[in-house]
Amino acid sequence: MKFYLDTANVEEINRINRLGLLDGVTTNPSIIAKEGRDFEETIKEICSIVDGPVSAEVIGLTVDEMVEEARNIETWADNVVVKIPMTEAGLEAVHILSKEGIKTNVTLIFSVAQGLMAAKAGATFVSPFVGRVDDIGEDGIELIQNLNQTLINYNFDTEIITASVRTIGHLEKAAVAGAHIATIPGSLLPKLWKHPLTDNGIQQFLADWEKVPKKAETLS
Ligand code: E4P
């Protein structure tokens, strides 16, 4: 499973990059707004750090606006991917952009039908929102399972980015379901590697190590 960060925070990106775990980054307008920095400058900096796709979202809602923004965003870096919302205009824009070789990530996917339409239009990535699906009393992981099986059934190259990940359970279950990618918010990062039994184990080993005779003590 590829592992993206769902953040525009450069410190968080560097932190996980140092561990060798980072395969890409996703952003959206809310994530960009949190950083209080210029959009283009932020995306260019992230693209220079990350050796993998970095999603930057368009704001326009018409086909012409989305295509124009996408063509501009695409010039910012070799590894930038244009995020397009799942609407009729979005599908048309994705179709145009895919023919130009511009990579797209169709976002705000809440059903198998939406994911299938995006893949057919030529999306490079689709982003089903598991957390927001759970929020309305449905099953986000079931959406990942069903969408993944659908893309396999028809041999699509489109990759699933499991988005709106709120828990480690979401990440693990999306991996079991076969999602290609999970994008994780920075707030979830420490939970990826921390476990109370690991911490207890380290404390126990250190306490026991104190009881081991040291060379100087043995000689005296
Ligand atoms: C990423 O592509 C999505 O925009 C993001 O995961 C949405 O997460 P949220 O539902 O927690 O805002």
Residue at 81 is within a domain: yes
Residue at 35 is within a domain: yes
Residue at 210 is within a domain: no
Residue at 209 is within a domain: no
- Asked if residue 97 lies in contact with residue 82, where contact means CB atoms within 8 angstroms, the answer is yes
Count: domains in the chain: 1
DSSP state of 213: P
pTM score, two decimals? 0.92
Range of the domain at 175: 2-194
| Cα–Cα distance for residue pair 46/138, rounded to 1 Å | 34
Longest dimension (CA), the chain: 84
Query: CATH code at 28?
Result: 3.20.20.70
- Going from the Cα of 197 to the center of ligand 1, the distance in angstroms, rounded, reads 31
- Asked if residue 128 lies in contact with residue 115, where contact means CB atoms within 8 angstroms, the answer is yes
DSSP state of 129: B
Please indicate whether residue 83 is annotated as part of the active site: yes
- Going from the Cα of 163 to the center of ligand 1, the distance in angstroms, rounded, reads 5
Count of alpha carbons within 13 Å of 134, Cβ hemisphere only? Answer: 13
- Going from the Cα of 135 to the center of ligand 1, the distance in angstroms, rounded, reads 13
What lines the ligand 1 site, CB under 6 Å? 6, 26, 28, 107, 127, 129, 131-132, 163-164, 183
Tens digit of pLDDT at every position of the chain (220 positions): 999 999 999 999 999 999 998 999 999 999 999 999 999 999 999 999 999 999 999 999 999 999 999 999 999 999 999 999 999 999 999 999 999 999 999 999 999 999 999 999 999 999 999 999 999 999 999 999 999 999 999 999 999 999 999 999 999 999 999 999 999 998 898 888 889 999 999 999 999 999 999 887 665 5
